[in-house]
Homo-oligomer: A and B are copies of this chain.
Amino acid sequence: MTDQRPSDRTSIGIVGAGLVGCLAALAFSRKGYDVCLFDLRSDPTNIDRSKRNLRSINLAVSSRGIRAIEEVDKALSDKILKHVIPMKGRMIHDKTGLKQESQLYGLNGECINSIDRSYLNDLLLQELGQSGVKVCFEHKLVKLSNVDTTPTMEFSTKNGNVKFTFDYIIGADGAHSHFRHQMQKGMRMDFSQKYIDMQYMELYIPPDPKKKFAIDANHLHIWPRHDFMLIALANEDGSFTSTFFSPWSVIESINSSNEFTQFFKENFPDAYKLIGQDALVSAFDNNPRGSLMQISAYPYNSPLGKALIIGDAAHSMVPFYGQGMNCGFEDVRILMELIEANEGAIEKAFLAYSPQRKDDLDAICKLALDNYYEMSSKVTNIWYLTKKKLDYTLGSWFKNKWQPLYTMISFRDDIPYSKAVAIEVRQSRILNNFQMGIISSLLVYGAVQGAKVYDKWRSR
């Protein structure tokens, strides 16, 4: 075991070479810091992408994510955006398999953008390779020590344990973060993990031999069935990554691949054809079933501001608002802004980060959970749909004075999540009154008409 200290510049050690860890490493590197990035996995750029695990729900990058990448590297952001598939709305598939209905996301054709997680991760890693960041794969974090004096990380590797000391350390090692677990031992950090009673299973819709995309590529496809749902996002090659979400009891009540295909035929007849019976049988027998969990922790920083957790390590949310990565990228932007505002005093920035970020992270985690209900059920509810129609109509009339929640979350990078929620609460109250007003007017109108008919009838 050797104690290695990188260099004389201010050094930053980051654990987790996933999306958020990579962007953080790049951000610090661009600012001239000496950055080391560690991950327990093997270098994913060496692995055949088709052989990777089947547990990644496709990503949608939207304004907050794009802005965060842009602020690190505009050219990189442009490069990424060349490989996305814009989705301008949801495409709702009904149970007959015959009807599809488009519901636009934005007022002015704004899109969220489907992108393959591993493609994006590889791109970020390549960029890191060119920017002098030392990336150490197959380094499994074992222990943090001296967190608030000389932060030291011990890793187990093929060649035994190694220790590194940095000026500052960051944990971006995901929902099951070992960095967080180690940090908790030395401080009072509130923490909660809550499983959502839901499993997900990845499915695959192959490209169409003739028209490339078997269904419209520029929509996020949803088969909402109240208790459970199917979604599909397009990939560049014409295929779709599809995900089946259901309560555990639903999938566990299906006893064979035969029953599973039957279930699909009945509930998602068009998707059944798109995926294919054989693929469904194989998926039921072989594909892993993921679980969904919400994680919250507080504070995110160590008491003296030498260590910080970001991304899923600090706030793991369910995937239903498409904001997990976007929010994690925003973490990086906010952090770099705080470092700038504190003139490079990273301790101060780490200490300021927790209180500044808390309400926004709490808000988006809650929205993500609430949105499952919206996606799986409300999108077919008439009251919801008329309210949404009104919401969007007011949005198009009053532009910057009235914005639907989805717009504020996904297409505005300048409104903090918690503020968006506060604005939505106010708008929703107005909308409800408006809707009640319309209903009252209709009732009054109906009563007047009724009275006229009655009068006519009496005077006959």
Which residues of A are at the interface with B, using a C-beta cutoff of 8 A? 181, 188-195, 291, 293
**Contact with A190, one of B181, B190, B194 (Cβ below 8 angstroms):** B194
Copies held by the complex: 2
Q: How far is the CB of A143 from chain B (nearest CB, A)?
A: 14
Which residues from B are CB-within-8-Å of A188? 195, 291, 293
Q: CB-nearest residue of chain B relative to A294?
A: B190
The CA-CA distance from A192 to B191 in the complex, in Å, is: 5
The CA-CA distance from A190 to B191 in the complex, in Å, is: 11
The CA-CA distance from A190 to B295 in the complex, in Å, is: 10
Q: Which 10 A-B pairs have the closest CB atoms?
A: A192-B192, A188-B195, A190-B194, A191-B193, A188-B291, A190-B195, A190-B193, A191-B192, A192-B193, A188-B293
Q: How far is the CB of A418 from chain B (nearest CB, A)?
A: 21
Which residues from B are CB-within-8-Å of A195? 188-190
Which residues from B are CB-within-8-Å of A181? 181
Q: How far is the CB of A455 from chain B (nearest CB, A)?
A: 54
Which residues from B are CB-within-8-Å of A194? 190, 192
- Known A190-B194, A191-B192, A192-B194; further 12 A-B contacts with Cβ < 8 A: A181-B181, A188-B195, A188-B291, A188-B293, A189-B195, A190-B192, A190-B193, A190-B195, A191-B191, A191-B193, A192-B192, A192-B193
Q: How far is the CB of A312 from chain B (nearest CB, A)?
A: 16
The CA-CA distance from A291 to B188 in the complex, in Å, is: 8
The secondary-structure label for the interface of chain A is: strand
Q: CB-nearest residue of chain B relative to A195?
A: B188
Which residues from B are CB-within-8-Å of A291? 188
Which residues from B are CB-within-8-Å of A189? 195
The CA-CA distance from A193 to B190 in the complex, in Å, is: 6
The CA-CA distance from A293 to B188 in the complex, in Å, is: 9
The CA-CA distance from A195 to B189 in the complex, in Å, is: 7
The CA-CA distance from A91 to B195 in the complex, in Å, is: 45
Q: CB-nearest residue of chain B relative to A199?
A: B188
Q: CB-nearest residue of chain B relative to A292?
A: B188
Q: How far is the CB of A161 from chain B (nearest CB, A)?
A: 15
The CA-CA distance from A193 to B187 in the complex, in Å, is: 12
The CA-CA distance from A181 to B191 in the complex, in Å, is: 13
Q: How far is the CB of A318 from chain B (nearest CB, A)?
A: 14
13 contacts between A and B (CB under 8 A): A181-B181, A188-B293, A189-B195, A190-B192, A190-B193, A190-B194, A190-B195, A191-B191, A191-B192, A191-B193, A192-B192, A192-B193, A192-B194
Q: CB-nearest residue of chain B relative to A176?
A: B185
Which residues from B are CB-within-8-Å of A293? 188
Q: CB-nearest residue of chain B relative to A291?
A: B188
The CA-CA distance from A194 to B298 in the complex, in Å, is: 9
Q: How far is the CB of A54 from chain B (nearest CB, A)?
A: 19
The CA-CA distance from A293 to B190 in the complex, in Å, is: 9
The CA-CA distance from A195 to B193 in the complex, in Å, is: 15
Which residues from B are CB-within-8-Å of A190? 192-195
Q: How far is the CB of A450 from chain B (nearest CB, A)?
A: 47
The CA-CA distance from A366 to B137 in the complex, in Å, is: 45
**Residue from A181, A191, A291, A293 whose CB has the most chain B CB atoms within 10 Å:** A191
The CA-CA distance from A189 to B193 in the complex, in Å, is: 8
